[in-house]
Amino acid sequence: MKNSKSLLKKYYMKIRLILPICNNSYNKWWHCKNAFLNKRNRLNILQKAMCFKSNDIDLVVTSNNFFGLNDKSEIRLKGLINSLKCKKDLIIGVDFPKRTNPFDGICAKVFYFQQKNKQYILRQSIWEVYHSSIKKNNKTLDNFKKQSRTIKVKNKSITLLSCGDILKDIHQGKKGLSNTNIYISLAHIDFKNYLINYKQHISNIQNWMGSNKIVLVTQQLSDDKLNNGNFFSKSKKYKLIYPKDLFLSQNIYFFKNYIFIDIKI
């Protein structure tokens, strides 16, 4: 029986999503002040995610703007996450100062760190291509395709998207997207009107790449969004998890300043 459980574990993958609650407002650049001013709190959330009921967790995924750093050095970020006592493979979104993005997008970056020998090794990173002034054009698509977005965790291939990069005008469907098992978009904020938009962008990916594709969107949450049903169903399921069977099977943990969502793939 033990061997059969080990074999099953080899083929499935368990992902934990972190949705931080931004309880001291966003600035005009869609940044939560917590990310810049209270890194210790964010680090504690990350520590909890790595340690809490985590024996079978393979990958932890944060929202975008989980940290806000005042320089573009990745050394600072590695120093923060390497201080964690518990470590799992990690996808994390970080914001940097304006005018640091070489692709003219929002100055947000998504990183994939692999845990190995109790240390984190950077395996992949992408800058966000989306900017509010960007419209569908060949330059945008070229910038999207210039960055290698595919990672592999266990036996699953994953496409990394940074917030607005989920828009069809950015990746233009099969022109920009690779054919992978999972598409993960790390978003900044939870504006009410974004729910309909995100659902449409997720449907676009599934229409182009296949209805069986898994699409996950993480984001920061405002306090009031926990109670008004915008992003959670009546049964307290998080809505931006597709397809439907995965949405129904999620396990969710509510804490004071953050939410964990576990899904098995």
Contacts of residue 221, defined as CB under 8 A and 6 or more positions apart, other chains included, come to 19, 20, 21, 22, 190, 231, 259
pLDDT digits (tens, 9 = 90+) for 217-231: 999 887 655 555 678
Distance CA 128, CA 134 (A): 12
pLDDT of res. 26: 64
pLDDT of res. 116: 93
Residue 262 has pLDDT above 80, yes or no: yes
pLDDT band at 181 (very low <50, low <70, confident <90, very high): very high
Listed residue (17, 52, 19) closest to 189, CA to CA: 19
Average pLDDT, the chain: 87
Is pTM beyond 0.85 here? yes
Residue 36 has pLDDT above 90, yes or no: no
Listed residue (59, 60, 77) closest to 68, CA to CA: 77
Q: Which has the minimum average pLDDT: 153-162, 173-182, 195-204?
A: 195-204
Give the mean model confidence (pLDDT) for residues 118-136: 86
The residue with greater pLDDT, 196 or 61, is 61
The residue with greater pLDDT, 265 or 228, is 265
Give percent of the chain above pLDDT 90. 54
Across 222-242, b (16+ Cβ under 10 Å) vs e yields beebbeeebbbeeeebbbbbb
End-to-end alpha carbon distance in the chain: 21
Distance CA 54, CA 139 (A): 42
Overall size of the chain counted in residues? 265
pLDDT of res. 7: 45
For helices 39-51 and 74-82, give the axis angle rounded to 10 degrees: 50
pLDDT digits (tens, 9 = 90+) for 43-86: 999 999 999 999 999 999 999 999 998 877 788 899 999 999 99
Residue 184 has pLDDT above 60, yes or no: yes
pLDDT digits (tens, 9 = 90+) for 79-122: 999 999 999 999 999 998 878 888 888 899 999 999 999 999 99
Domains and CATH numbers, the chain: 16-264 (3.60.110)
pLDDT band at 136 (very low <50, low <70, confident <90, very high): low
Q: Which has the minimum average pLDDT: 94-108, 147-161, 162-176, 215-229?
A: 215-229
pLDDT of res. 225: 55
